[in-house]
Amino acid sequence: MDTYLRVATFNLKSSLIAFGERRWKYRRELIFRMFRELDADVAGVQELTPSMRRDFVSNLAGWRLFGVGRGGALFDEHADIAVKEGLNAKLLKTFWLTRRPDRSSRLVTPRSPLSWIFPRICTVAEITKNGRRIRVFNTHLDLMSDAARYIELRIICRQISAYQEHDPLPTLLCGDFNAKPDSRSIKELADNGCGYENVRLYNLSEGIGGTYHFYRGGEGSRSIDYIFASKDFQLSDFEVIRSSYDGLYPSDHYPLIASLRLTD
């Protein structure tokens, strides 16, 4: 029996950087409404602060969040993986995009100055649907430097490679990569798995148009959000959700949703 999976990625926009009608307390019901309408099985979310996380858990019945924050008190954001109730799921780990992924003390170089304030992490979880185990990675890469993003993706690919060597599984990688499709980091990942032979992930987001719109709507100004999948998956449908509610947008990013099929 084939297994069908709906996977999404959505940058929710931090509650710490917003003013007026863009403040979290005005957007959260829109976020929850859009999340319900996405009807995904699994979703990577970015810029999830602790207060947003509490609201998410309290207001979205039927969903579980897996992930650990990056620390730093006020800036303790999560790159969590949301999983619909009814699917077996477990958190494997949240790791740092540093020279030593088990700790945050040594940041990779070259770095942008903001990276010292906003260090980067990646969360990995395993879900099971119809008896099929699937490994899911979710991340939010450096804002300023494509050189840093390239190194961060190499760290992620190294982690994927290690998992695949030990226990090969259908694999998904999603998130806000802060990189355009023609950037070195995206091309390296799509072309050769950043140098790892057993990392072959295909860009499902190619040619979809802008995903970042800064609350302006329209087609979006930049395509920086992605869903990558291993060849185990067949793509049935892919969509950028550009909905607004009474002219208001839940976030400055559009969510992406892919419908995938795993054949036996």
Pull the structure tokens for residue 180.
């355009």
The whole-number pLDDT of residue 106 equals: 45
Nearest-angstrom CA–CA distance, 1 and 254: 33
Q: Strand (E) positions, the chain?
A: 3-11, 42-46, 63-66, 81-84, 88-96, 121-129, 132-140, 171-176, 201-203, 225-230, 233-240, 256-262
Q: Read off the pLDDT of each residue in 10-37 and give the average, rounded to a whole number.
A: 92
Interval 161-219: pLDDT, tens:
999 999 999 999 999 999 999 999 999 999 989 889 999 999 999 888 899 999 999 99
Higher pLDDT among residues 114 and 66, named by residue: 66
Q: Read off the pLDDT of each residue in 215-231 and give the average, rounded to a whole number.
A: 94
Q: Each residue of 25-35: b (16+ CB within 10 Å) or e?
A: eebbebbbebb
Nearest-angstrom CA–CA distance, 151 and 245: 38
Q: How confident is the model at residue 115 (pLDDT cuts 50, 70, 90)?
A: low
Q: Read off the pLDDT of each residue in 83-91 and give the average, rounded to a whole number.
A: 96
Residue 249 has pLDDT above 90, yes or no: yes
163's CB contacts (< 8 A; 6+ apart) are 92, 124, 135, 169, 171
Interval 30-50: pLDDT, tens:
999 999 999 999 999 999 999
